[in-house]
Amino acid sequence: SSRGTEPRKKRGWASWSADETRVFYQTLLAHGRDFDVITRHVQSKTREQVRHFFYRSLKKINKLLSPLGRRIDGKADRAEGV
């Protein structure tokens, strides 16, 4: 079997448009990390895509903040005061 020799496939999700990104962050600020609510507002993405985008964005933001000795906790219920 060639099971271990095949390259791992990446998820083929479409990139996020500027409008989808804007709606995502507006909804995140208004409702916190409620992926169901965010998905209802960003209707072109699934809940799993919204969740993945949140954690991917959080990772990028924390990478930018790390030289300042700061980070954002992704487990917070609300994005206020971040």
Percent of the chain's residues with pLDDT above 90: 68
75 pLDDT band (50/70/90 cuts)?
confident
HSE, side-chain direction, 13 A CA sphere, residue 82? 20
Helix (H) or strand (E) holding 39: helix 35-41
The mean pLDDT of 47-67, rounded to a whole number, is: 95
DSSP 1: -
Q: Dump pLDDT digits (tens) for 6-21.
A: 666 555 567 999 999 9
Q: Are 53 and 16 in contact (CB under 8 A)?
A: yes
78 pLDDT band (50/70/90 cuts)?
very low
**pTM of the prediction?**
0.73
